[in-house]
Chains A and B, each alone.
Chain A
Amino acid sequence: MGDPMRIRAKSSDGTTDVRVLMAHPMETGFRKDSSGKTIPPHFIKDVKATANGKTVLTARWSQAISQNPYLQFKFKGAKPGDKVSITWVDNKGDTRTDEAAIA
């Protein structure tokens, strides 16, 4: 289970704006540590966002995404009080899911 992410979701005029800050090292696999050894790649591969059980966003990420990724997206069809849930899976099989209520 990864570290907690911060999710904020706000709805106005039918459009919900979601901002997520995820905690993840997002190692590219190109860096070397102080002893010269290459640090193995460790990055989020898949992201899924659901609202009221329906998938609203899927993303396939690579090493190109920076450390502690910040994701912002908008979608229609939810209202204040509904739950938005974000899940990520990384290349080592670790995963994290957090949810927040739409403000």
Chain B
Amino acid sequence: MKRWILAAVAVMASHAALAESSSDAIAQYRAMLADGNPAELWEAKGQALWKEPRGPRHASLERCDLGQGPGVVKGAFVRLPRWFDDTRRVQDLESRLLTCMQDLQGFDAAAIAKTPFGKGEQSTIENLVAWVASESQGMAFDLPQSHAAEKKMYEVGRDAFFFRAGPYDFACASCHGQEGKRIRLQDLPDLTTRKGAGDAFGAWPAYRVSSGQLWSMQRRLNDCYRQQRFPYPGYVSDVTIALGVYLGVNARGVDSVAPGLKR
């Protein structure tokens, strides 16, 4: 009996040691990869696509207004989502890019919204968000909350965050509402706190090593819905924008590191 207990303790101890060294190894691997984040390749492409005349109207995106004035990209990422007078709604980066791609270049925004991630013009958006995010790298989140619609979207986002639904009765808060939680080897940030929200909202878009793809915030939210076994939210639907407002406002003052590097 004693020998069995000793053996069991030895196995558990070695398991703990293994867990320690594997998370260290992952951290080391990520450090190696960070020097030359593949997201930089998407940034370079995005910068070129911003200037290139494209679409039925053969126009560039250089007059696109991301909230700081037409063509101003620096600082735009850390001030989105926000209210836009011309469309009379609160928009995030991707819905605003869709607006510009439709109004300036003549693309069909609804068709792009239906296109699967990574295909067709969705891959154009991947490149654009990587570059736009990089132009705000190191800047602190400073989402406006002055317009009534912006304040309302924060509340809607908060309610959506805590709303339990789906076959597992999950909410975003189920995984992201407490400190110190993890799923398998992935740490889960507490998105209700400033640091947690900042780490999460400021890390997407990100290059995901496991899939070799660049994921935008919309794609990340879409996958969260999939993981909860919820119906897919529509691309740039109001609920996804509201969640972005909730996260971004919670993250106020935290520096954005996007485009980030993820497992």
Contacts and interface: CB of A to CB of B under 8 A. Distances in A.
Interface of A: 3-6, 8, 19, 21, 23, 66-68, 70
A4 B44 contact: yes
Interface stretch (B8-16, B32-40, B58-66, B143-151): B32-40
Contacts, number: 29
A57 B48 CA distance: 29
Given A67-B212, A68-B212, A6 B40 contact: yes
A23 B36 contact: no
Interface in B22-45: 35-36, 38, 40-41, 44-45
Nearest to B43: A6
B36 A21 contact: yes
B178 to A, nearest CB: 36
Given A3-B41, A4-B44, 12 more contacts: A3-B44, A4-B45, A5-B41, A6-B36, A8-B36, A19-B36, A21-B38, A21-B40, A66-B212, A67-B212, A68-B212, A70-B36
Contacts of B212: 66-68
15 contacts: A4-B41, A5-B41, A6-B36, A6-B40, A6-B41, A6-B44, A19-B35, A19-B36, A21-B36, A21-B38, A21-B40, A68-B38, A68-B41, A70-B36, A70-B38
A79 B25 CA distance: 35
B35 A23 contact: no
Question: Chain B binding site: helix, strand, loop or mixed by DSSP?
Answer: helix
Nearest to B37: A21
Contacts of A3: 41, 44-45
Nearest to A23: B41
A4 B38 CA distance: 12
Contacts of A67: 212
Nearest to A68: B38
A40 B92 CA distance: 38
A21 B45 CA distance: 13
A6 B45 CA distance: 11
Contacts of A4: 41, 44-45, 48
